[in-house]
Amino acid sequence: MTTSTTRSRVARLLAPIAVLGLFTAACGSDDGASSSNSEPATTDANSEMMDGPKIQIRGQDFSEAITIAEVYGQYLEAKGYPVEILTPAGFRTEALDGLQSGDFNLIVDYVGGTQVEIAPDAASTADVDEIVANITDPLRALGLTLLDYSPAVDGDAFVVRGDSEASTISDVAELDYVLGGSSQCPERPQCLVGLEDPEIYGITFADFITLEFGPLLGEALANNEVDAVIWNTTAPQITEQGFKVLEDDQGLFPAQNIAPIISTELLEAYGDQLVADLKELSAMITTDDLLAWNTETDIEFRESDDVATEWLKSKGLL
Q: How far is the CB of 180 from other proteins (least distance, A)?
A: 8
Total H helices, total E strands in the chain: 13, 10
Residue 104's closest CA among 117, 85, 125? 85
Q: How many CB atoms lie within 10 A of CB 34?
A: 11
Q: How far is the CB of 127 from other proteins (least distance, A)?
A: 25
What is the pattern of x (binds other proteins, CB under 8 A) and - over residues 222-261? xxxx------------------------------------
Query: Which range binds other proteins by CB under 8 A, 54-62, 81-89, 100-108, 181-189?
Result: 181-189
Q: How far is the CB of 184 from other proteins (least distance, A)?
A: 5
**Binding-site size, other proteins (CB under 8 A):** 43
Query: Which range binds other proteins by CB under 8 A, 61-69, 205-213, 235-243, 287-295?
Result: 205-213
β-bridge pairing 178-181 and 228-232:
parallel
| Per CB under 8 A, 28 contacts other proteins | yes
Please, which residue, 27 or 141, has the CB nearer to other proteins? 27
| Per CB under 8 A, 17 contacts other proteins | yes
d(CA 259, CA 118): 14
d(CA 87, CA 97): 16
Q: Helix-strand-coil percent breakdown of the chain, rounded to 5?
A: 45, 15, 40
Which positions ≥6 away from 241 have C-beta within 8 Å?
218, 221, 222
Please, which residue, 73 or 214, has the CB nearer to other proteins? 214
| Per CB under 8 A, 93 contacts other proteins | yes
Q: Do 245 and 168 meet the contact criterion of CB atoms below 8 Å apart?
A: no
Binding residues vs other proteins (CB under 8 A):
1-6, 9-10, 13-14, 16-17, 20-21, 23-25, 28, 93, 182-184, 186-187, 192-193, 196-198, 204, 207-212, 216, 219-220, 222-225
